[in-house]
């Protein structure tokens, strides 16, 4: 079953911060990791990802740095900051309240798919 994309947009920043909490990543790596961990529910496009990363960087949630890859190309990596870790915790708290409230209203939906 396809998931309505409007349901997914609110949590994207939280998910990206969670990935970066685990390790520094470059953009394409985040796209692939999110796709894999979500069993293809989250299929971010570069045109969606990079504006989000730039916004998170402006807010001080992430830092970026360049690193040379094996093929001598330069990749831009992103790392989570202390402010980003706090934002992640805040977003997780908000999400838990949101999900519990929706679940209460619609009546104990099973989350297995």
CATH number at residue 16: 1.10.10.10
Is residue 111 domain-resident?
A: no
Is residue 5 domain-resident?
A: no
CB 90 within 8 A of CB 20: no
Residue 63, strand partner residues: 79
Question: How does residue 106 score in pLDDT terms, banded at 50, 70 and 90?
Answer: confident
Share of the chain above pLDDT 70, in %: 86
Is residue 109 domain-resident?
A: no
- Provide the domain limits for residue 72: 10-104
Is residue 30 domain-resident?
A: yes
Render 45-69 in DSSP notation, one character per residue: -HHHHHHHHHHHHHTTSEEEEEEE-
Candidates 10, 46, 40; CA nearest to 26 is 46
The separation between CA 98 and the C-alpha centre of its own chain, rounded to angstroms, equals 17
CB 29 within 8 A of CB 53: no
Question: How does residue 43 score in pLDDT terms, banded at 50, 70 and 90?
Answer: confident
Candidates 37, 21, 31; CA nearest to 79 is 21
Total structural domains in the chain?
Answer: 1
pLDDT on residue 88? 95
């Amino acid at each position: 079953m396809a998931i309505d994309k409007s349901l997914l947009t609110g949590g994207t920043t939280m998910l990206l911060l969670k990935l970066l909490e685990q390790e520094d990543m470059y953009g394409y790596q985040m796209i692939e990791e999110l796709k894999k961990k979500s069993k293809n529910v989250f299929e971010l496009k570069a045109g969606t990802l990079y504006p989000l990363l730039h916004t998170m960087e402006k807010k001080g949630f992430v830092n970026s740095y360049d690193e040379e890859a094996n093929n001598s190309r330069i990749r831009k990596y992103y790392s989570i900051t202390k402010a980003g870790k706090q934002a992640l915790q805040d977003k997780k708290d908000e999400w838990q309240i949101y999900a519990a409230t929706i679940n209460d209203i619609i009546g104990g939906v099973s989350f297995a798919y």
